[in-house]
Amino acid sequence: MSTLEIKDLHVSVILDDENTKQILKGVNLTINSGEIHAIMGPNGSGKSTLASTIAGHPKYVVDSGEILLDGEDVTEMSVDERARAGLFLAMQYPVEIPGVTMSNFLRSAKTAVDGEAPALRTWTKDVKAAMSDLQIDPDFISRNVNEGFSGGEKKRHEILQLELLKPKFGILDETDSGLDVDALKIVSAGVNRAHEKNDMGVLLITHYTRILKYIKPEFVHVFVDGKMVDQGGPELADRLEEEGYVSYVGK
């Protein structure tokens, strides 16, 4: 079993050469293998900053606090080292990588994460099966990463990585944004498969309860102005759907 532990995390974003702005103001969170946690909060509260900081984005500076993966502090690790350690971030705005085919990209990513190239026959089979599960067109494998992909295709591609790379913890930032109901179901099923097959811990960041119909969190955290302000079970998500975040804002 693995544990991802965030302790009293304070984070600033680098605005320019001289200025930073504090975004995270003491975040505490513990996720174990096999657990699904949802973080919900209004726009601009710092949810993506938390996700990017866990993944090691260089724009975000940890002022104090710790991010521990199985007791080891990852805050000094590079993005690649974190991926090898078992962290995976699906981003709110996936990037295009011109000139790199999906096929090469996936194989390189798998090799980087595992420290050795995957056995070709099983790998090709695994990729095909995962693509078929996610209803991704087989032609996709020869296209360039995210180039000309629709929003939904980009999201499916991210979940494809999640299924193939088998991280210990998957961080999904607004994976539901811009998806129609059918795509949302397919993407959610992929997340649930990775969670069930690989005992992956999930940190699901969203500001709508819509995706929680398909991915069932055991724990729901409310995030406002750089901090966790409440936590509970799935019933909390239902309450937020009705009441919004007004009762938390300004506290």
206 binds ligand ADP (CB under 6 A): no
Q: Please give the order of strands across the beta sheet that includes 20-32.
A: 20-32, 3-14, 60-69, 72-73
Residue from 9, 40, 45, 134 in contact with ligand ADP (CB under 6 A) = 45
Binding residues for ligand ADP restricted to 9-38, rule: CB under 6 A = 13, 15, 23
56 binds ligand ADP (CB under 6 A): no
249 binds ligand ADP (CB under 6 A): no
Site string for Mg ion, 18-47 (x = CB under 5 A): -------------------------x---x
Residue from 27, 31, 38, 49 in contact with ligand ADP (CB under 6 A) = 49
Contact 27, 45 (CB under 8 A): no
Shortest distance, position 84 Cβ to ligand ADP, whole Å: 25
Choosing among ligand ADP, Mg ion, none, which partner's interface includes residue 15 (Cβ < 5 to 8 Å by kind)?
Answer: ligand ADP
Cβ proximity to Mg ion, 43 vs 122, nearer residue: 43
Shortest distance, position 205 Cβ to ligand ADP, whole Å: 7
48 binds Mg ion (CB under 5 A): yes
Q: Applying CB under 5 A, which residues contact Mg ion?
A: 43, 47-48
Q: Applying CB under 6 A, which residues contact ligand ADP?
A: 13, 15, 23, 41, 43-49, 59
